[in-house]
Amino acid sequence: MSDPIIQRIRTYHRELFDAFDEFFRSVTGTGPNSFQGFSDLSVSTWETFVTRFNEAAEKLESRLVSLYNEHRYRQFDDARALGGVKMVLGGGSRFYGTQREAVARTALYADTILVPDPVYAWLEVERHDVQSVAFEIFKTIHSLLLLRPLVDTSAETLPIVLFPSFEKALEHNDASTQQAMNELVTAYLNAGLNRCFGSMAEVFDAAKRSPEQFIADVSTARLYIPRGRDAAPADVRDAIREYKEEVLAFRTGPDRELVEGLNEAGVLALAIFESVAPQFHLFENSSTLDAQPLMCFPNHWHYYRTLSAGVHSELSKSGLISSKTIALVQALQRERFRWLSDVTMDQLVSLRETSEFKDFRFTLDGCASALGEVQMSDVDRVGAEVAAALGALLDKHDAKARDLVEQFKTKHSKTAVMTGAAVAVTFLPALAGIISGVGAFGVLTRYIFDKIDERKEKAALTRSLIGVLANARNASAR
């Protein structure tokens, strides 16, 4: 009998993704894998498209609100009850291509990846951080639907689980959450600047009174790393300008007004707050759901490591988070392992259904253990060890593939000789005693069965974990 919790999660996700799929097909007229974008829209077709889009979005929202209201708390509890190696995605509430790729790679390692429902995040409260919420929902749903095979799989464990996390509602309406986020970012700045700010209000006041000093101090301490960057920029003023331009270009209402009313130092303080504050939800979800953190941008990992070493050091000391696991998962997101993204969805589903992905995790865990004490920041050291280990495994795969080719080449050569001998009997009856019972038809049949065996063994080798990884690496190299 199947686990009732897993069964309940699967039923909920089937309803959820059916709603996503209906919306997407209503808007595009095609499936997520076939969608090529809206480049064919013209001025004459735009009006009918907008009408169709709005009608589909309205229907989706009505369906999702009902579904979320019915299951919102149960899904969170069920996610918490799942066992195995669990990761929880954090650092922000968006879910586009980069997040999807991070989840797919991590599905080679973890039993379950818990994702705060990124569609629900757009419906919780009124949003001012984008110009079109409906279009953001569309992009999010497209990205999620590309992962649907992992959601629909009948594998023993659930690769992906979405759960409503109420993050935006808590940020807007819950005083204790607002206070906790305020304190977290204030503590981050105090530790980095060796200051004693009592709140973010005092931080903004200092930025207003002594802007040059504040900018210089933050820049020296390298406290701000913009999204997508690996390290703090040499000139933080360029980052301030880029952040402000992005807000003015893509946000609306209060967000724009806030930025326009701040000086450079105030904009920098705001950028730091928006970068660090989401870590509060990640720490909360990681602790409550008993899951390891997962992020997909280098700056998010930087803030997490910094907070874990200081403000939230109790999590590391308590054993609630594993430095080795975090270092491994960080390493998998690096450019040197981008080829893992060439593992196809069908291959990934197969590895999940056969549980071969656990062999991959066993290999990676062995790499980390071989290094002894591993810190969260040891990403390069762990990455080098993992690269060496996977390289050795893939080299063995290539050698086995070559041996297989040689093995069957020898078989086919022997069969070809026997075929020639069998045909020769027609002309030299004296040979009949030598190859008694082996006619040309029988030898041909043996050749056919040898070819079938060859294809079976090659297919099995290709479908194996190492075969899948080797194909992905070779595809990336082309």
Tokens of 266: 């105030």
Closest CA to 215 of 261, 275, 270: 270
Note whether 228 and 299 are within 8 A (CB). yes
Please tell me the predicted confidence (pLDDT) of residue 127: 83
Question: Do 299 and 227 form a contact (C-beta atoms < 8 A)?
Answer: yes
Residues 6+ apart with CB under 8 A from 478: none
Report the run of H or E that residue 329 belongs to, with start and end. helix 323-332
Which residues face 116 on adjacent strands? Answer: 163
Q: In the beta sheet, which residues pair with residue 292?
A: 87
Q: Tell me the CA distances in angstroms from 304 to 332, 375, 443, one per residue in order.
A: 17, 13, 67
- Positions of the chain with pLDDT lower than 70, given as ranges: 1-2, 39-45, 310-320, 376, 395-463, 478
pTM above 0.85, yes or no: no
**Token pair of 139 as six digits:** 């992009």
**Element housing 112 (H / E):** strand 112-116
Return the ∠ at Cα 344 (arms to 339 and 350), rounded to 5°: 120
Separation between Cα atoms, residue 262 and residue 272, nearest integer Å: 14
pLDDT of residue 101: 93
Query: pLDDT tens across 192-250, in order?
Result: 899 999 999 999 999 999 999 999 999 999 999 998 788 888 889 999 999 999 999 98
CA–CA dist 209, 263 (Å, integer) = 10
Q: Pull the structure tokens for residue 39.
A: 């480049």
Phi and psi (nearest 5°) for 31? -85, 170
Distances (CA, A) of 461 to 261, 263, 324, 471: 62, 61, 30, 11
- Which sign does the torsion angle of CA 202, 204, 205, 211 carry? positive
pLDDT of 228 reads 76
